[in-house]
């Protein structure tokens, strides 16, 4: 896991054109707003969607790249796993991280591939930023080798399984 200092150095080294874009999908307004603030303070550009329909619209209409989908699992219209599958039809290289207050096994029961990345709610600022950095790093490494987003998620998920327990402020979440 990257240290807080490593994360800050990585953020500071990016040029404006290299700022990763994250599509954040969360139906709970407060959780979405706090998470978006955390991501923005971490140096990411955030596209916010209150649900799957809005997320699909943003994925289709956003003129530039979208580097990562950070989505809640349980939402009224459809679950995050189904949303990720639909967004990947528009943007095949997109990597996804699923957020949930439920156990990780529930994410997999909902149809997610074993390669999916997951972050348990509530999560800390540090654990969220570290998970995002791991996913993006794995995605970049595999893009160079020509592999897909699922492979990147699998690589990052393996790395995150060795991560230490939560530390720092908590971002609330309720499913």
| Every domain of the chain and the residues it spans | 4-160
Q: In whole angstroms, what is the distance from residue 98 CA to residue 79 CA?
A: 10
Closest listed residue to residue 50, CA positions, set 75, 87, 83: 75
Query: Topology of 4-160 in CATH?
Result: Rossmann fold (3.40.50)
Block means of pLDDT (10 residues each) for the chain, length 175 residues?
55 64 97 97 97 98 96 90 94 92 61 67 95 91 64 49 47 53
Element (H, E) at 49: strand 45-49
The CA angle 134-96-66, to the nearest 5 degrees, is: 90
Please write down the long-range contacts of 2-7, taking CB distance under 8 Å and 24 or more positions apart: 2/130, 2/133, 2/134, 4/126, 7/42, 7/126, 7/129, 7/130, 7/133
The single residue listed with the structure tokens 């500071």 is 12
* Contact by Cβ (8 Å): 83, 47: no
**Confidence at residue 139, expressed as pLDDT on a 0 to 100 scale:** 84
**Confidence at residue 9, expressed as pLDDT on a 0 to 100 scale:** 53
Terminal-to-terminal C-alpha distance of the chain = 27
**Confidence at residue 174, expressed as pLDDT on a 0 to 100 scale:** 45
**Confidence at residue 102, expressed as pLDDT on a 0 to 100 scale:** 77
**Confidence at residue 76, expressed as pLDDT on a 0 to 100 scale:** 87
* Contact by Cβ (8 Å): 81, 55: no
**Residues ≥6 apart with Cβ < 8 Å to 37:** none
| The pair of three-digit structure tokens given for residue 140, joined into one six-digit string | 């970049």
**Confidence at residue 165, expressed as pLDDT on a 0 to 100 scale:** 42
């Amino acid at each position: 896991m990257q240290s807080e200092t490593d994360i800050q150095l990585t953020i500071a080294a990016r040029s404006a054109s290299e700022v990763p874009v994250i599509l954040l999908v969360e139906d709970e307004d407060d959780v979405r707003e706090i998470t978006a603030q955390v991501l923005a303070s971490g140096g990411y550009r955030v596209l916010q969607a209150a649900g799957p329909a809005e997320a699909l619209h943003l994925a289709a209409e956003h003129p530039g790249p979208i580097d990562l989908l950070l989505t809640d699992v349980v939402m009224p219209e459809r679950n995050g796993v189904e949303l990720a599958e639909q967004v990947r039809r528009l943007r095949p290289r997109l990597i996804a991280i699923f957020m949930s207050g439920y156990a990780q096994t529930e994410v997999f029961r909902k149809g997610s591939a074993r390669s999916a990345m997951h972050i348990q709610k509530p999560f800390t600022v540090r654990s969220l930023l570290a998970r995002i950095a791991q996913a993006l790093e794995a995605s970049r490494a595999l893009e160079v080798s020509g592999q897909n987003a699922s492979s990147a998620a699998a690589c990052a998920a393996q790395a995150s399984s060795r991560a230490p327990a939560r530390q720092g402020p908590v971002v609330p979440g309720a499913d």
